[in-house]
């Protein structure tokens, strides 16, 4: 029997954690086969190769080597280079994850070739079109055939945008599948010893959103708050290349007890995160991972597309001004959030994705479990 061939597209650091558990279930499936495409949006070993090794990802079947560029250049380059691959592979579907430029570019290529698009992590909305990712999310969802959602606000957002209910599936969170899979390796990591912080209290910082790091005044404001927080708990700050470029331009002087470091791979970062007292971040995925780990998180943004991490998890929206960040920090000290793990963030999201794919292709498998599909009356 011919297997249905699915192209899985990954391009940037946060994609790799989502694709890894999916590939594991696809590659052991009797009915589906997976082809992995790396667009090359991220290409440094620190942002890409190390993640492939840490997540035990197989080498990509196709590497498009698109590299960096403006949004238009990068999106167009992925489209130009992916189209012949989708045609040559004669794919039955294209799976895209997350909200990066590669996600939108791949969805556009597939939709125009009339190849079904499966969007994993669909429906998240910050309602802030100033974020490039928000534009990627809205457009990708509009042209996807099946929309696989991590949290129930995702379902509501999609229904509000007129996406038919039958296309929407709440499957849980693939990031948390990867986290479960890698926690044991993270416990064996020697990163705490290498940094001489074993048994010590520390906080962790990540910043890479253009709105926070591209403008010196915005970055100064955040660094001012972090310097003050670091007087209470020393901070480790692995610096993303975008942020490094800004810091270099600003010729940043040492301020507070902040240690600037190179980016870490997945396993070492997971070890650091799970041992930290607080995480200050503008990342989407880290808001989810800290909620799953029960670690307090201050999100240095005005909004989040992942409200479940605030309503149910350990996340607090701290804003981007010095005074709002410090107010959130003090509130966190006085009233620490305990939080709980959101529904279906249980390490089994990939199995639910597989069930959706089986059902899409009409594969009648005894292994298909009942899906927590959206009930019409559950929608406000
Ligand atoms: C991208 C995603 C963002 C995601 C982030 C995770 C978009 C619009 N943005 O942002 O959603 O949260 O990845 O890291 O898709 N660079 C390197 N080495 C690399 C890759 C990039 O040095 O391997 C530098 C280049 O100078 C590049 C800059 O980082 O111009 C930005 O890279 P880019 O992929 O455009 O966006 P990110 O900020 O990484």
Query: Does residue 42's CB lie within 6 angstroms of at least one atom of ligand 1?
Result: yes
pTM: predicted TM-score of the whole model, two decimal places: 0.94
**Dist CA 347 CA 203 (whole Å):** 26
Best mutation site among 9, 13, 41, 75 for ligand 1 pocket (most ligand atoms within 8 Å of CB): 41
pLDDT at 365: 59
Q: What is the predicted pLDDT for the residue at 350?
A: 98
pLDDT of 366 reads 54
Q: What is the pLDDT of residue 110?
A: 98
CA 98 to ligand 1: nearest atom? 11
Give pLDDT tens digits for 31-55: 999 999 999 999 999 999 999 999 9
Give, using CA atoms, the residue closest to atom 27 of ligand 1.
68
Per-residue model confidence (pLDDT) at position 251: 77
pLDDT digits (tens, 9 = 90+) for 132-171: 999 999 999 999 999 999 999 999 999 999 999 999 999 9
| 161 C-beta neighbours (distance < 10 Å), count | 12
Protein residue with its CA nearest to atom 13 in ligand 1: 12
Among protein residues, the one with the nearest Cα to ligand 1's atom 32 is 68
**Closest C-alpha to ligand 1, atom 16:** 241
208 assigned to active site: yes
What is the pLDDT tens value at each position of the chain, 380 positions in all? 789 999 999 999 999 999 999 999 999 999 999 999 999 999 999 999 999 999 999 999 999 999 999 999 999 999 999 999 999 999 999 999 999 999 999 999 999 999 999 999 999 999 999 999 999 999 999 999 999 999 999 999 999 999 999 999 999 999 999 999 999 999 999 999 999 999 999 999 999 999 999 999 999 999 999 999 999 999 999 999 999 999 998 876 677 899 999 999 999 999 999 999 999 999 999 999 999 999 999 999 999 999 999 999 999 999 999 999 999 999 999 999 989 999 999 999 999 999 999 999 999 755 444 444 443 333 32
CB of 45 closer than 6 angstroms to any ligand 1 atom: no
Domains and CATH numbers, the chain: 4-173+344-377 (3.40.50.2000), 188-334 (3.40.50.2000)
pLDDT value, residue 377: 33
Active-site residue identified among 4, 42, 169, 208: 208
- 282 contacts 208 by C-beta, under 8 angstroms: yes
């Amino acid at each position: 029997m011919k297997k249905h061939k699915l192209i899985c597209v990954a391009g940037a650091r946060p994609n790799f954690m989502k694709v890894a558990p999916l590939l594991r279930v696809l590659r052991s499936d009797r009915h589906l086969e997976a082809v992995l495409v790396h667009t090359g949006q991220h290409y440094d070993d620190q942002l890409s190769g190390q993640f492939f090794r840490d997540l035990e990802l197989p080498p990509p079947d196709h590497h498009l080597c698109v590299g960096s560029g403006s949004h238009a250049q990068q999106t167009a380059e992925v489209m130009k280079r992916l189209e012949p691959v989708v045609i040559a592979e004669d794919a039955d579907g294209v799976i895209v994850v997350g909200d990066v430029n590669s996600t939108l570019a791949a969805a556009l290529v597939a939709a125009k070739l009339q190849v079904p698009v499966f969007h994993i992590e669909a429906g998240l909305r910050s309602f802030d079109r100033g974020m490039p990712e928000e534009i990627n999310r809205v457009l990708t969802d509009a042209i996807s055939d099946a929309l696989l959602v991590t949290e129930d606000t995702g379902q509501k957002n999609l229904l509000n945008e007129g996406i038919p209910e039958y296309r929407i599936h709440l499957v849980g969170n693939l990031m948390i599948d990867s986290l479960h899979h890698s926690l044991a390796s993270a416990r064996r990591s020697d990163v705490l010893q290498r940094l001489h912080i074993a048994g010590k209290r520390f906080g962790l910082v990540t910043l890479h959103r253009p709105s926070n790091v591209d403008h010196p005044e915005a970055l100064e404001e955040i660094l001012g708050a972090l310097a003050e927080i670091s007087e209470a708990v020393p901070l480790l700050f692995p610096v993303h290349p975008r942020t490094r470029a800004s810091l270099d331009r600003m010729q940043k002087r040492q301020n507070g007890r902040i240690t600037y470091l190179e980016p870490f791979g997945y396993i070492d970062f997971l070890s650091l995160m799970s041992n930290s007292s607080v995480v200050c971040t503008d990342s989407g995925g880290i808001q989810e991972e800290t909620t799953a780990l029960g670690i307090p998180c201050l999100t240095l943004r005005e909004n989040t597309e992942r409200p479940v991490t605030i309503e149910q998890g350990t996340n607090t929206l701290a804003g981007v001004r010095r005074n709002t960040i410090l107010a959130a920090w003090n509130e966190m000290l006085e009233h620490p959030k305990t939080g709980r793990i959101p529904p279906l963030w249980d390490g089994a999201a990939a199995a639910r994705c597989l069930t959706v794919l089986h059902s899409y292709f009409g594969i009648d498998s005894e292994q298909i479990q009942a899906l927590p599909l959206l009930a019409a009356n559950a929608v406000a």
